[in-house]
Structure 1
Amino acid sequence: MNKILLSILITGIFSACSNSELKTTVFSQKQEYKLLKTETRELKMEIEELKREIQKLADFKNES
């Protein structure tokens, strides 16, 4: 009986460690996703600004 309880305890400890590692991994991936999402948003804004600048240059060239 003691061996069974001990094996259940050991299994529980390993499960807790694995679960903790999984939570850490998921948290890290969520943080990375948020960072990439922010960077993507910033890049899109920069692209739009570049498009406006290109359009201004094209308009200026056409006026010349």
Structure 2
Amino acid sequence: MAVPKKRVSKSRSKARKAVWIRQAKQASQKSLSLAKSILKGKQTSFIYTENLGINFNKE
């Protein structure tokens, strides 16, 4: 089993965690923005087919 050779400082571990959290936050914001644009019908970066038998529009 792999074992670290030396102890990692708190500042380094917090920095790595901050990077991980920032990337997750950016991904969630991007996916939410894409979902909103699809619902409004103004998507430009996402191509999908509407003939899957699922109707998301409330008409």
TM-score bin (small chain): 0.5 to 0.7
Q: CA deviation at 1:27?
A: 0.2
Larger radius of gyration: 1
The answer for unaligned runs of 5 or more in structure 1 is: 48-64
Q: Tell me, yes or no, if structure 1 residue 7 matches structure 2 residue 10.
A: yes
Match of 2:48 in 1: none
Tell me the TM-score normalized by structure 2: 0.56
Q: CA deviation at 1:6?
A: 1.1
Q: Which has the higher contact order (CA 8 A, sep 6+)?
A: 2
Q: Distance in 2 between the 1:28 and 1:11 partners?
A: 26
The answer for unaligned runs of 5 or more in structure 2 is: 1-6, 43-56
Percent identity between the two aligned chains? 8
Tell me the TM-score normalized by structure 1: 0.52
Q: CA RMSD in A?
A: 2.4
User: How many residue pairs get matched?
Assistant: 38
Match of 2:29 in 1: 26
Q: Distance in 2 between the 1:9 and 1:27 partners?
A: 27
Q: Distance in 1 between the 2:37 and 2:9 partners?
A: 42
Alignment of 1:1-64 (within 5 A): 6-38=9-41
Q: Distance in 2 between the 1:29 and 1:14 partners?
A: 22
